[in-house]
Amino acid sequence: MLRDTETIVKEVLNIFSKYLEKQSHRKTPERFAILEEIYRRNDHFDAEALYIHMKNCNYRVSRATVYNTLELLVNCDLVKKHQFGKNLAQYEKSYGYMQHDHVICAHCGKVVEFCDPRVQQIKNLVADLLNFEITHHSLNLYGICGSCVKAEEFSSN
Amino acid sequence: MLRDTETIVKEVLNIFSKYLEKQSHRKTPERFAILEEIYRRNDHFDAEALYIHMKNCNYRVSRATVYNTLELLVNCDLVKKHQFGKNLAQYEKSYGYMQHDHVICAHCGKVVEFCDPRVQQIKNLVADLLNFEITHHSLNLYGICGSCVKAEEFSSN
DNA sequence: ATAGTTGCAAAAGCTTTGCAGTATG
DNA sequence: CATACTGCAAAGCTTTTGCAACTAT
């Protein structure tokens, strides 16, 4: 049974609050507002989109604070940061979500998530063989999604 | 038996030449000089480092040409482009190399290569399940390498 | 009270683009 | 000889930084 958004928002605000306390960081309204906005939205987003969205909601935040807060949220594992081949960081909320990786359509930009236990096996083996303490990973598959393939076939006929 | 650098350089220059011809692109001395420099060097590099290196070797090239040529080389599979978590593209020569992935040390920046057949299995399964034509992928593991772990233990004692 | 945070704007860093000149096919 | 390519410099974009004002503790 999936918990509703309100419950999740409460939980993450609480987790963030405890994290800030532990790290002796200040609990500013901006930080909580940004976290809340992230968890009320879906999908992947970049820093600029989040900033614009905050502005549209009449929050008075700066880009600097958005970047600052995103970094904190990444550090306490409430948000994941990705790079899907472009020079642009993409973020996504991660609390309560299963660990997953991404397939990206090079044509339409669509991002689809998937999960494969073999990724963990690879991490374990590499950590062992190469003597690394692996903290996280990034696996992106790039290609063309079904609908874009069809569109291509259509236009070439 | 590994072929020597000269042989490999000749082969890639030849491959690039044929690629340019096929695509009706011009065979300029700058393009070949850049390819040759890449294949005479090792490890990963970024566009700026390559540009500086060309300058030091008294080639008269511009950044624009470096970026332009790198894109061509990526397109004909002679060079691979990576993003190791930073907003900075890293490149590496790929001809004659086994397909591999990377482990990156978050402390010292060291990049180690590894190869695991399960990556291909994952690609096949995802292509099938999600109906994608996968063209390439990027798998990076991030962590701390053995020597950096030791250094940490040392400094905390 | 004091120092961590904020907003703003400027700067930084990587990459792309516009343009006039050059050289390839 | 037409035009793709080049160098150079400027612009573009994302992200970071400096600083004065503010505010959480």
SS3 track for B44-93: CEEHHHHHHHHHHCCCCCCHHHHHHHHHHHHHCCCEEEEECCCCCEEEEE
Angstrom distance (rounded) from CA A33 to CA A1: 27
| Residue A136, amino acid | H
| Residue A110, amino acid | K
Structure tokens at A13: 């605000």
pLDDT exceeds cutoff 90 at A153: no
Phi, psi of A22, rounded to the nearest 5 degrees: -60, -40
Strand D bases with any atom < 7 A from protein Cβ: 4-10, 13-18, 23-25
User: What is the model's pLDDT at position B2?
Assistant: 62
**Centroid of chain to Cα A39:** 11
User: What is the model's pLDDT at position B107?
Assistant: 84
Which residues, other chains included, contact A151 with Cβ-Cβ below 8 Å and sequence gap of 6+? A107
Residues 29-48 of B with CB under 7 A from strand D: 30-31
- Touching check for B12 and chain A: CB below 8 Å? no
Angstrom distance (rounded) from CA A23 to CA A36: 20
Are the beta carbons of B146 and A131 separated by less than 8 Å? yes
- Touching check for A57 and chain B: CB below 8 Å? no
pTM: 0.90
User: What domains lie within chain A, and their CATH numbers?
Assistant: 1-97 (1.10.10.10), 98-157 (3.30.1490.190)
Is the shortest CB-to-strand distance from A64 to strand C under 7 Å?
Answer: yes
Estimate the share of chain B in helix, then strand, then coil, as percent rounded to the nearest 5.
Answer: 50, 20, 30
pLDDT exceeds cutoff 80 at B115: yes
pLDDT exceeds cutoff 70 at B156: no
Q: Which residue has the tokens 């600097």?
A: A64
pLDDT, one tens digit per residue, over B3-47 is 789 999 999 999 999 999 999 999 999 999 999 999 999 889 999
Are the beta carbons of A103 and B132 separated by less than 8 Å? yes
User: Residue A107: which pLDDT band, with cuts at 50, 70 and 90?
Assistant: confident
What average pLDDT does range B139-145 have in this prediction?
95
| Residue A120, amino acid | Q
**Centroid of chain to Cα B149:** 27
User: What is the model's pLDDT at position B17?
Assistant: 98
- Touching check for A133 and chain B: CB below 8 Å? yes
User: Residue A151: which pLDDT band, with cuts at 50, 70 and 90?
Assistant: confident
User: What is the model's pLDDT at position A56?
Assistant: 93
pLDDT exceeds cutoff 70 at A157: no
What average pLDDT does range A122-148 have in this prediction?
95
Under DSSP, the state recorded for A96 is T
pLDDT, one tens digit per residue, over A35-62 is 999 999 988 999 999 999 999 999 999 9
**Centroid of chain to Cα A62:** 20
B145 in Cβ contact with A127 (< 8 Å) = no
Is the shortest CB-to-strand distance from A47 to strand D under 7 Å?
Answer: yes
